[in-house]
């Protein structure tokens, strides 16, 4: 508990709680309407996606381009669960559980053959698997309704109470906010855990990592499965937000956009990726007046960013160790206190 509530995490919690209180006040005052809430929810979903992909690429160093494929699994699991059961809190939680479990299981199936590859070959393989997942769901018409998608999903209800559009939007917003908080805290703690240190060691040098006795296959599978489960989690929230799921929403461009958030924010940095996700969601909204040129401007900004600051907005944290005088004295004592061993003639 002491490590969980360290200074850094306390700052995060204060910032999130302050933002939560401010936005809640603005919602109750009518300053923030459903349009702004929808944009904020989109930012939150993309933050979850970017942090989960950052776990695979930024922390572990495994290049994946199929992240949207795991998001679509979570979205369709939630959609089918809501269709078959209800949009109650229990139905949403059931869909969330199924989506996370199936996303993780598919990730393991995909990862076992592909994680033997490295670099560009791994990226191409994950891109192919992501498209295969999307095409399978698009052609599985008996369950997913094919290219028409699942429409008219029921809006969330709380303990059987039906909610209107405004109430449901506010309800989903708080779910997204809670999911973002959980994601930031869990991934932040994971980076400093024993597993997280193994992931970072794998990123720096696979040969040295294996020489230290770390099981490379187990570590790679763990990172890929965790990141994919979180992508499925984001897909569940996306389905609850839009009440409509279509395979066209989960193409390669979605994976490329999430990858851009990771690269722009700084690979390995949770704070940087969070800021980048907000920027890349808000930028197209504010550039709607330049609809013919906004993608050109967006691309130009990304190119300039990569030229002048390739490490991203906030570079990944470097682990440092401070050696005190006491440590030096202890190490010198241990060196001289080793008993000499002499051979017998």
> Residue ranges per domain, the chain?
33-333
Share of the chain above pLDDT 70, in %: 76
What one-character DSSP code corresponds to residue 318?
P
Mean pLDDT of 293-300: 74
> DSSP 3-state assignment of 245?
strand
> Does position 167 have pLDDT exceeding 60, yes or no?
yes
Nearest to 305 by CA among 268, 269, 276, 281: 276
> Does position 135 have pLDDT exceeding 50, yes or no?
yes
Range picked from 29-43, 223-237, 314-328 for highest mean pLDDT:
223-237
At 93-113, the pLDDT tens digits run 777 788 888 888 888 888 888
Share of the chain above pLDDT 90, in %: 1
- Give phi and psi for 20, each to the nearest 5: -60, -50
The predicted structure's pLDDT at residue 316: 61
What one-character DSSP code corresponds to residue 59?
I
The predicted structure's pLDDT at residue 344: 46
Position 156 confidence tier, pLDDT thresholds 50, 70, 90: low
The predicted structure's pLDDT at residue 249: 81
> Does position 165 have pLDDT exceeding 50, yes or no?
yes
Residue 170 CB neighbours (<10 A): 18
Mean pLDDT of 296-315: 78
> What span, in angstroms and rounded, lies between the C-alpha atoms of 335 and 311?
41
Mean pLDDT of 144-170: 68
The predicted structure's pLDDT at residue 1: 44
Strand extents, DSSP E, the chain: none
The predicted structure's pLDDT at residue 336: 43
> Does position 36 have pLDDT exceeding 60, yes or no?
yes
> What span, in angstroms and rounded, lies between the C-alpha atoms of 213 and 79?
43
Position 345 confidence tier, pLDDT thresholds 50, 70, 90: very low
Could you tell me which CATH class the domain 33-333 is placed in? mainly alpha
- Per the CB < 8 A criterion, the answer to whether 81 and 94 are in contact is yes
Interior angle at CA 181, CA 126 and CA 151, nearest 5: 60
The predicted structure's pLDDT at residue 101: 86
At 48-76, the pLDDT tens digits run 999 989 888 888 888 888 888 888 888 88
């Amino acid at each position: 508990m002491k490590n969980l509530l360290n200074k850094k995490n306390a700052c995060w919690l204060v910032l999130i709680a302050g933002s939560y209180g401010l936005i809640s006040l603005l919602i109750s005052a009518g300053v923030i309407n459903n349009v702004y809430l929808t944009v904020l929810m989109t930012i939150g979903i993309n933050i979850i996606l970017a942090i989960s992909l950052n776990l695979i690429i930024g922390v572990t160093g495994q290049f994946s381009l199929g992240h949207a494929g795991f998001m679509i699994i979570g979205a369709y699991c939630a959609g089918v669960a809501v269709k078959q059961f209800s949009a109650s809190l229990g139905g949403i939680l059931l869909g969330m559980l199924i989506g996370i479990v199936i996303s993780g299981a598919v990730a393991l199936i995909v990862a076992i053959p592909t994680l033997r590859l490295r670099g560009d070959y791994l990226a191409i393989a994950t891109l192919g698997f992501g498209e295969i997942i999307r095409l399978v769901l698009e052609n599985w018409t008996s369950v997913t309704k094919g290219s028409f998608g699942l429409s008219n999903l029921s809006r969330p209800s709380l303990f059987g109470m039906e909610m209107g559009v405004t109430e449901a939007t506010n309800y989903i917003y708080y779910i997204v906010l809670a999911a973002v908080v959980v994601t930031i805290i869990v991934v932040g703690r994971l980076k400093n855990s024993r597993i997280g240190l193994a992931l970072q060691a794998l990123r720096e040098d696979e040969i040295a990592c294996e020489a230290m006795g770390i099981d490379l296959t187990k570590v790679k599978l763990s990172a890929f499965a965790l990141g994919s489960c979180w992508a499925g989690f984001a897909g569940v929230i996306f389905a609850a937000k839009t009440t409509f799921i279509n395979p066209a929403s989960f193409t390669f461009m979605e994976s490329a956009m999430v990858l851009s958030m990771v690269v722009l924010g700084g690979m390995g940095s949770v704070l940087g990726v969070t800021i980048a996700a907000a920027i890349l969601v808000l930028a197209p909204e504010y550039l709607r007046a330049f609809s013919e040129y906004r993608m050109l401007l967006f691309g130009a900004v990304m190119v300039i960013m990569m030229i002048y600051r390739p490490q991203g907005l906030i570079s990944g944290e470097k682990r440092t160790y401070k050696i005190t005088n006491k440590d030096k004295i202890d190490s010198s004592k241990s060196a001289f206190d080793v008993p000499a061993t002499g051979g017998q003639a």
